[in-house]
Structure 1
Amino acid sequence: RGAIGDLLARDEYFWLDLDGPSEAEVDTLDDLFHFHPLALEDLRKKGQRPKLEEFGDYMFLVYYGAVAPESGGPPPPDAPPDAGPAGGERIQLEEVHAFISGGYLVTVHDGSCTALDEVRTRLDAQAPSSEQFVVYRVLDALTDTFFPLLEDLEDRLERLDEEIFADASPDHLQPLTELRRDLVMLGRVATPQRDMLARHIDDILQLPGLEADSRDYFRDVYDHAIRISDQIDSYRDLLLGSRDAYLSVTSNRLNEISKQLTVVATIFLPLSFVVGFFGQNFGWMVRNIRSAEDFWLIGGGTMVVSVLVLVAWLRRSSYA
């Protein structure tokens, strides 16, 4: 607390990164920086929509990065069809809250954030050329975390599409649903972040203490956000195509089964008629069918002939 107070007193730019702060630490932030109560209220709430709000000489930012699966490599042979790297852990999002000012950058997140750790390591090795360059590095690192996940989603989509065309089964319903859920979750943050960057890049650079000469850097972040949003939309279309292919294959298979059952039922139709007819106590049949030979000749022969005629007709009509 004392070191931060000294930096603020000297008006020396710094970056404060907090990993899962306690309520007492949040209160300390309030004492040091005198953040707006609404900003502190948002800081305590998770699962918010990406946004950027201006409070005088600083801004409050809600931004997301993507958490890559812990292990890489191709899925094992017995993994489900939707499996990503090493069995397909579900993707997660890293919510980062940030206070951006010309004199400081404060980032707050739950748990370790690998992207921010890497940025801090690079900045420790090479001092940043300007304050806005630190903000750019943070936004760029969080934005770029989406690309590995999108590559993994693309691989899963292609693999699932191939399996559906090869042998569609009800087992593919779950991976289709999970892929849709993942894309919806990514789209809920990627699209608002893209729109937010489009509207507020200049607002960030106009903060007191920041210079507008880094607009090209922030435009690069915006370009990446556009690519991410476009890829998600493209994968949604691919997923719809895979779902339609699954429905088409299963529908064709059901039609084929129905066709086969119809042929069988049609063949048994004359048999049922003949058996029912000869099962009646007509006087003529009682008087004339007195031996097994007569029974098989008249009864069995009638059934065989009727079946052969029906099968020939079905083949000629391309039903069998």
Structure 2
Amino acid sequence: MVPKTAKEPQFLPDEKDTVPPEPTQFTFCSSTLDGSLQASSLSDLQTLYEPLNEILDDERQYNGLWWLDVTAPSEDDIETLSRIFNLHPLTNEDIKVRENREKIELFGPYYFLSLRPARKVETDEGVRTSPINVYAVVFRDGVLSFSMGSNPHVGHVRNRIKEHQSHLYLTSDWICYALIDDIVDGFAPFISQVERGVEAMEDSVSITRPDDIGLALQQIYHRRKEVLHIRQLLNDKTDVIRSFARHCDAFGASSSQVGLYLSDIQDHVLTMMANLDAAEQMLSRGQSKYLSQLSFDSTRMRNQISHALSRLTVIAGIVVPLQFVTGLFGMNINVPAKSDRVDSLTAWFSILGVLVALIVLFFVIARRIRVL
């Protein structure tokens, strides 16, 4: 059984760091070499390692298993390698247009693998996953891979091969399996980050202030969007793994027993999908709680406003008639019970008493009808 080495979670550089075009880098490793060779162009790599010419020739007389990886290739590099390795025009087109659909296709002497790893990208909306493209052309005696952006997966597979080279039956199909396995493992840090965020959100539902509910709902929206994005990428991986397992015999992978290890990757994918489903359910439940609390707070606020308006209405209903009465006596009229001979305040106190009685009566009526 092929051992799996423990890999530390790593994130790729932010998308902002890749705005300037990344330099093209050719990396070559072989079962006959102790390490790997790197160069900025194919001609420089040929100068460093002359036996590489045996692979690039039409006869393909190289004695050993080889792996040539190209990071951030230009269209000229893709065209040159397609001509050297006699790639099918459909394969050449998929690589040049950065085909996003993940798949495995059989083309006679080789099969073509298209994968989308995830990397960490900082945006205005927060941290999210952004896919990049990795392609592999798998021959019986070697692998030609294209990485459209910097990623750690190719390096992880090379280290894994170096650590277990003494007891590992290395084939090109195993390299393809290891590449898929490492790319799938690369989703684990994103899912762990989502799970931590969901647990923190779940714990804060009961203590969130009404003023912060809008912000909490916005965070839930971004979390659900990220979960949907990761789930979609993992869903595509499931189809690729099933296709790989179904066509193992056609690819000649039966001798390397790669099919025995594909179920391990598929179980890993299903486990991560289950974790994402659980996170999605928790987010949906938290969103429902926040919306219920928001609806309750809105209803309570409406009731408070309605109660305050009803009080203002009662006060206005009391004040307006009184103002009408006092307004009448503010005009040029004869004051009741006032004459030249008698100067008494009885009428004034009588009017004031009537006004006070009206106020008390209005308040009693308002209390009876439960307006106040």
The reply to whether TM is greater than 0.5 is: yes
Matching of residues 146-295 of structure 1 within 5 Å: 146-167=187-208, 168-208=212-252, 211=255, 213-280=257-324, 290-291=348-349, 293-294=352-353
Structure number having the greater helix percentage:
1
Deviation at 1:119, TM superposition (A): 1.6
Task: State the SS of the aligned residue for 1:15.
Answer: strand
Task: State the SS of the aligned residue for 2:69.
Answer: strand
Does the CA contact (< 8 Å) of 2:117 and 2:133 recur in 1?
yes
One-letter identity of the residue aligned with 2:134: V
Asked if 1:97 corresponds to 2:135, the answer is yes
Does the CA contact (< 8 Å) of 1:102 and 1:210 recur in 2?
no
Greater Rg over alpha carbons, structure = 2
Deviation at 1:186, TM superposition (A): 1.3
Partner Cα separation in structure 2 for residue 91 and residue 257 of structure 1: 40
Partner Cα separation in structure 2 for residue 106 and residue 36 of structure 1: 14
- More divergent stretch after superposition (285-294 vs 152-161): 285-294
Does the CA contact (< 8 Å) of 2:322 and 2:355 recur in 1?
no
Instruction: Say how many residue pairs are matched.
Output: 298
Partner Cα separation in structure 2 for residue 289 and residue 14 of structure 1: 117
Give CA deviations for 1:33-56 in whole Å, capped at 9, x if unaligned. Answer: 111111111112236121111111
Partner Cα separation in structure 1 for residue 156 and residue 254 of structure 2: 23
Does the CA contact (< 8 Å) of 1:289 and 1:295 recur in 2?
no
User: Structure 1 residues 295 and 27, CA, compared in 2 at 3 Å: closer, same or farther?
Assistant: same
Unmatched runs of 5 consecutive residues or more in structure 2: 1-41, 330-334, 337-345
2:169: which partner in 1?
Answer: 129
Does the CA contact (< 8 Å) of 2:118 and 2:187 recur in 1?
yes
Q: Which has the higher contact order (CA 8 A, sep 6+)?
A: 1
User: What is the TM-score with the length of structure 1 in the denominator?
Assistant: 0.81
Does the CA contact (< 8 Å) of 2:133 and 2:149 recur in 1?
no
1:302: which partner in 2?
Answer: 361
Does the CA contact (< 8 Å) of 1:267 and 1:307 recur in 2?
no
- Percent identical among aligned pairs is 20
User: Structure 1 residues 114 and 36, CA, compared in 2 at 3 Å: closer, same or farther?
Assistant: same
- Pick one of 144, 148, 152 that aligns with 2:185: 144
Unmatched runs of 5 consecutive residues or more in structure 1: 71-79, 83-87, 316-320
2:3: which partner in 1?
Answer: none
Partner Cα separation in structure 2 for residue 300 and residue 45 of structure 1: 84
Deviation at 1:231, TM superposition (A): 2.5
Task: State the SS of the aligned residue for 1:112.
Answer: coil
- More divergent stretch after superposition (51-60 vs 35-44): 51-60
Give CA deviations for 1:218-254 in whole Å, capped at 9, x if unaligned. Answer: 1111211222223223322222222222211111110
1:76: which partner in 2?
Answer: none
User: Structure 1 residues 10 and 37, CA, compared in 2 at 3 Å: closer, same or farther?
Assistant: same
2:62: which partner in 1?
Answer: 10
Task: State the SS of the aligned residue for 2:257.
Answer: helix
Does the CA contact (< 8 Å) of 1:57 and 1:208 recur in 2?
no
User: What is the TM-score with the length of structure 2 in the denominator?
Assistant: 0.70
Task: State the SS of the aligned residue for 1:98.
Answer: strand
Does the CA contact (< 8 Å) of 1:206 and 1:212 recur in 2?
no
Does the CA contact (< 8 Å) of 1:194 and 1:229 recur in 2?
no
Partner Cα separation in structure 1 for residue 264 and residue 319 of structure 2: 82
Partner Cα separation in structure 2 for residue 261 and residue 69 of structure 1: 45
User: Structure 1 residues 163 and 145, CA, compared in 2 at 3 Å: closer, same or farther?
Assistant: same
Give CA deviations for 1:96-125 in whole Å, capped at 9, x if unaligned. Answer: 111122221222112321122122122123
One-letter identity of the residue aligned with 1:6: E
Does the CA contact (< 8 Å) of 1:50 and 1:64 recur in 2?
yes
